[in-house]
Amino acid sequence: MTSRLLFIMLVWVIIGCEKTTEPEEEEEVVVVEEYSIQGEIDKAEDGDTVLVQPGTYEENIDFMGKNIVLGSLFLTTADPYYIGSTIIIGGGTNATVTFQRGEDSTALFTGFTVSHSAISSEGGGILCRNSNPRLENLHLLDNHADHGAGMYLQGDPGPVIKDVVLEDNGGRWGGGMRLYLSTARFENCTITGNSSRHGGVIWVNESHPVFVNVDIIDNSGGDDVGGGIKFMDSGGTLRNVRFIRNSADFGAAIYSTGSDITLENVIFYDNSSADGGSAIYAVGSSNITAKNVVFSSNTAGVNGGAIYSVSSSINLVNSILRGDSPEEIYFSPDGDLASIMISYSNIQGGQDGIITNDNGTVEWLDGNLDEDPLFADVENGDFHLQEGSSCIDAGNPDSEYNDPDGSRNDMGSYGGPNGDW
């Protein structure tokens, strides 16, 4: 099938009433929108590209199972101006943008701001169910929904999400987004200023997402758990991710229950929990592996400035834990035994920085330090190592952990094979 290129432009028709001599009546202006995005989607066929001119479009759109490209002029110009000037505002009780009829990876939605939806169900900004479109170069701003205010993603395979900003969205569960039975992949995204009344700004339920080059900053889980991400009975891989200034009662950055999570080259900085686990709160037999991870300046109101573990297993390799309060690592005195394995890592306080409450085991293996890592600029969140740091070339010597230049692993977030971010 030959692809077609369709254009949408907002056309405003202004109708003025003829003035009378007396009394002078107020001029009536009627604004008519001649074209709609949905109208053009309805006409489109698989393989078509629909280009949308700048403007504010007050409508809900549904891809209707069509594998088309829908983009602002960002698609043809790469000018970010068109993302902010091509706005879709939904209304009613449905998500502003819907994919739920099996759209595949040839469907692309790119170059828009999706804003100001307010619904009581799922997916204020975007609802994606049992579909895997590409969602790229979007700004999801100030949307509200009970579940997944910015996005609600359900079903496998999930979408690929690139260069998307989720900002100032809010809801009950998953103020930024919620994933259910999804393997969505996130690349080069920023998730900031979102809030959730019942925790889990990003709520991951029975899902296995991948996050690469993602900033999770200034989000709030309210008086609940998971100011950044809440994992429930899930798995996940996070690589080159920063958690900064997130807050919640428990697990200000990550709250994990019954989940298996791999962290590679991740930074936890200045997160705060009212109770425990300001960076990570692990419960319910969670298993967390942290490679080349930095924990710094995180604060818990009660215990576990960096990590709070309840009946869970933690493995720290090539990582640095410094300046977290009231202590770096804390095991709950309740529940089954917790465990932690630490190798080639720099832990403030050494083994004394781990409070076990006689309810778990610590495997203190080779290569561990308790020294100032000489971070470049902690106050401004720069955790590169200064020349002379004892953490340089001090990570695990096995070649699989080598830095990008082939040298021995440096401890911290900029060491290892993924350290050049």
Name the range with the highest mean pLDDT among 8-12, 132-136, 175-179.
132-136
Q: Which of 186-200, 293-307, 322-336, 378-392 has the lowest mean pLDDT?
A: 186-200
Question: Could you tell me the residue ranges of all domains in the chain?
Answer: 57-63+77-401
* CA dihedral sign, ordered 249, 250, 253, 255: negative
**Alpha carbons 310 and 284: distance in angstroms, whole number:** 7
**Alpha carbons 401 and 408: distance in angstroms, whole number:** 7
- The token duo for 222 is 């309210």
**Alpha carbons 275 and 327: distance in angstroms, whole number:** 13
What average pLDDT is seen over the chain? 91
- Note the pLDDT tens digit of each residue in 48-91: 999 999 999 999 999 999 999 999 999 999 999 999 999 999 98
Task: Give the pLDDT confidence score for residue 14 in this predicted structure.
Answer: 26
Give the amino acid at 303: N
**Alpha carbons 189 and 170: distance in angstroms, whole number:** 18
- Note the pLDDT tens digit of each residue in 221-254: 988 899 999 999 999 999 999 999 999 999 999 9
- What's the average model confidence in pLDDT over 17-33? 36
Query: pLDDT at residue 9 above 70?
Result: no
Q: Which of 28-42, 87-101, 354-368 has the lowest mean pLDDT?
A: 28-42
**Alpha carbons 162 and 165: distance in angstroms, whole number:** 9
Of 360, 374, 366, nearest to 329 by C-alpha is 360
Preceding omega of 397 cis (within 30 degrees of 0): no
Query: pLDDT at residue 282 above 50?
Result: yes
Burial annotation 126-165 (CB, 10 A radius, 16+ → b, else e): bbbbbbbbbbbbbbbbbbbbbbbbbbbbbbeebbbbbbbb
